[in-house]
Amino acid sequence: MSEPSPVNFGNYQNDIYLNGLDGHLPPFTTDLTALGASARERLDPGAFGYVAGAAGSGATHRANREAFERHRLVPRMLRDATARDLRTRVLGTDMPAPVLLAPVGVQSIVHPDGELATARAAASLGVPMVLSTASSYTVEQVAEANGPDAPRWFQLYWPNDDDVCLSILDRARRAGFTTLVVTLDTWTLAWRPQDLDQSYLPFIRGVGTAIPFSDPAFRAGLAQPPEEDLIAAVLRWVPMFTGTDRSWERLSFLREHWDGPIAVKGVQHPDDARRAVDAGMDGVIVSNHGGRQVDGAAASLDMLPEVAEAVGDRTEVLFDSGVRTGSDVLKALALGARAVLVGRPYAYGLAHGGEEGVRHVLRSLLADLDLTLGLSGHRTPGELSPDSLRHRPS
């Protein structure tokens, strides 16, 4: 639902200092770059490795952060940035700030309430969530937790069985998910040493499979329901959502069967962005999956300007991978993103305190974004441009 008026997200800072007068501190750190370290102490090693881990040597995961380090904001003064308006409209969705919750699967491994807690926290701030196909709860359950008015998008791991695919899309649409995000970069799982070394893969234990296991078309293909024969259900689902590299032409199938906006996620090369536009996609999400798929791949931020240059006037360009602070959001916007998605930080927030933990992470990020936007001399996200940045001298 659209915000009636701009939200003063920076006020969270005042709340924190005022609460301090009564001896109350924030539930956990407001430094979102430090959350991983404290989440490690709260989670069992398998779950922590799954969230924090990356592909191969972690080179791309590190590169994502290094790219943000290389770009520096150049604040401008005396520009009347007192009253700010972060509201943004992206792919048909009004949002209070240019920030969404990235699709993060299997959230019940970090907190029993998983995606339900995330959905409630997101709704309380009007921030759109993107629900993963690999959710621990069904689309209907998450929609109910999210509420009738909250904005929500659905992320598809594209099943290679068309009946199952269409059934899942239909359920998502009925449950009020308006925009479809098709993830292209995870058609099979990457080599992820943190998970391999612990032999930790939630899906083969039936975790993160609530959507297919509750799906009538999927269940129709099983001799026995998943509740009676988990292994058979797992063995049918895992090869259905991994292992098949699709084609650009096949996107027409999704275009035909989804009547809302569609964005493809995992785009890095400008030519792929052009192909996505040619295939009728409404948006591209510049992402390297938080460094979890192609080790040694370019930092997502480094590819953003080329993609924005190639298709920014023809489609909505979104960005993720490595966003941790308000200034990171500003840098991505300055380089051509219309909005950003944030992944691990809110998963760590969930690990720290369920719904309240996700809310604290979001409020912290949005307050930091709001204050840094103003302090750098801007009133709206639209005022940012490449001229707002300089490369750090090497």
Instruction: Considering the candidates 61, 71, 111, 289, report the single residue annotated as catalytic.
Output: 289
Q: State both tokens at 334.
A: 């300055």
Of residues 66 and 383, the one with the C-beta less far from ligand FMN: 66
Name which position in 12, 28, 50, 177 contacts ligand FMN (CB under 6 A).
50
Show the DSSP H helices in the chain as ranges. 11-21, 35-42, 45-52, 59-70, 114-125, 139-146, 162-174, 193-197, 210-213, 216-220, 230-241, 251-257, 270-278, 300-311, 326-334, 344-375
By CB under 6 A, tell whether 323 contacts ligand FMN: yes
By CB under 6 A, tell whether 136 contacts ligand FMN: no
Name which position in 169, 284, 342, 367 contacts ligand FMN (CB under 6 A).
342
- ∠97-102-108 over CA atoms, to 5°? 125
By CB under 6 A, tell whether 368 contacts ligand FMN: no
Residue span binding ligand FMN (CB under 6 A) among the ranges 6-14, 86-94, 102-110, 330-338: 102-110
Phi, psi of 144 (to 5 degrees): -65, -40
Q: Which amino acid is at 306?
A: E
Name which position in 287, 315, 325, 372 contacts ligand FMN (CB under 6 A).
287
289 given a catalytic annotation: yes
Of residues 187 and 248, the one with the C-beta less far from ligand FMN: 187
By CB under 6 A, tell whether 128 contacts ligand FMN: no
Of residues 74 and 196, the one with the C-beta less far from ligand FMN: 196
DSSP state of 379: S
- Contacts (Cβ under 8 Å, ≥6 apart) of 249: 279
Q: State both tokens at 157.
A: 């791991």
Residue number, nearest CB to ligand FMN: 343
CA-derived radius of gyration, the chain: 20
At its nearest, how many Å lie between ligand FMN and the CB of residue 224? Answer: 27
Of residues 81 and 264, the one with the C-beta less far from ligand FMN: 264
- Contacts (Cβ under 8 Å, ≥6 apart) of 329: 98, 99, 323, 340, 365, 369
At its nearest, how many Å lie between ligand FMN and the CB of residue 17? Answer: 28
Q: Which amino acid is at 96?
A: P
At its nearest, how many Å lie between ligand FMN and the CB of residue 14? Answer: 27
As a whole number of angstroms, the distance between CA 32 and CA 26 comes to 13
Name which position in 320, 328, 355, 370 contacts ligand FMN (CB under 6 A).
320
- What is the footprint of ligand FMN within residues 143-202 (CB under 6 A)? 155, 183
Provide the binding-site residues for ligand FMN, judged by CB under 6 A.
50-51, 64, 102-105, 132, 134, 155, 183, 265, 287, 289-290, 320-323, 342-344, 347
Query: Which active-site residues does the annotation give?
Result: 289
